[in-house]
Amino acid sequence: MTDERLIEAARSYREHAYVPYSHFAVGAAVLAADGRVFGGCNVENASYPLTNCAERTAIQKAVSEGARELCAIAVIADTDAPCAPCGACRQVIAEFGIERVVMANLNGAVRTVRAAELLPFAFSGRDL
């Protein structure tokens, strides 16, 4: 699975975004170690804090399908720069040890970083 294909999966899941409040559609796709890809979109709620980001939707789908070994995540939105995951999603990305974060926008800009760059000194289960 190339980064390009993971981005394409994220882009197609973005089409399903439920964003009646922000009108800001986000797509994500997670690559599991067994080769499966799980996509997600943001799902908003009239009670705003209940909104689920695209990245967390995709990760929750992967885990709930039995995929816990996760290698990479792509995220895409209509942003100027490649779309960066929010802080809450960074924490969830860290929880599952997803190493590669591929950020993209609709214009083809891509930036790939390691999760530890996005969330240095992450709080983890090892701290408990």
Kindly report the backbone phi and psi dihedral angles of residue 2, in degrees, each rounded to the nearest multiple of 5, phi listed first: -85, 160
Q: Which is nearer to ligand THU, 50 or 128 (CB)?
A: 50
**Annotated catalytic residue, options 8, 55, 69, 95:** 55
Q: Is 55 a catalytic residue?
A: yes
Kindly report the backbone phi and psi dihedral angles of residue 6, in degrees, each rounded to the nearest multiple of 5, phi listed first: -65, -40
Beta strands in the chain (DSSP E): 26-32, 37-41, 70-77, 100-105, 110-114
SS3 98: coil
Q: Which is nearer to ligand THU, 17 or 32 (CB)?
A: 17
Smallest gap from residue 56 Cβ to ligand THU (A): 8
Smallest gap from residue 22 Cβ to ligand THU (A): 4
**Which residue ranges make up the site for ligand THU (CB under 6 A)?**
19, 22, 24, 26, 42, 44, 51, 53-55, 85-86, 89
Tell me how far apart the alpha carbons of residues 68 and 108 are, in angstroms, rounded to a whole number. Answer: 29
- Give the bridge partners for 26, in sequence order: 77
Tell me how far apart the alpha carbons of residues 40 and 58 are, in angstroms, rounded to a whole number. Answer: 4
Smallest gap from residue 95 Cβ to ligand THU (A): 15
Q: Which is nearer to ligand THU, 71 or 86 (CB)?
A: 86
Q: List active site positions.
A: 55
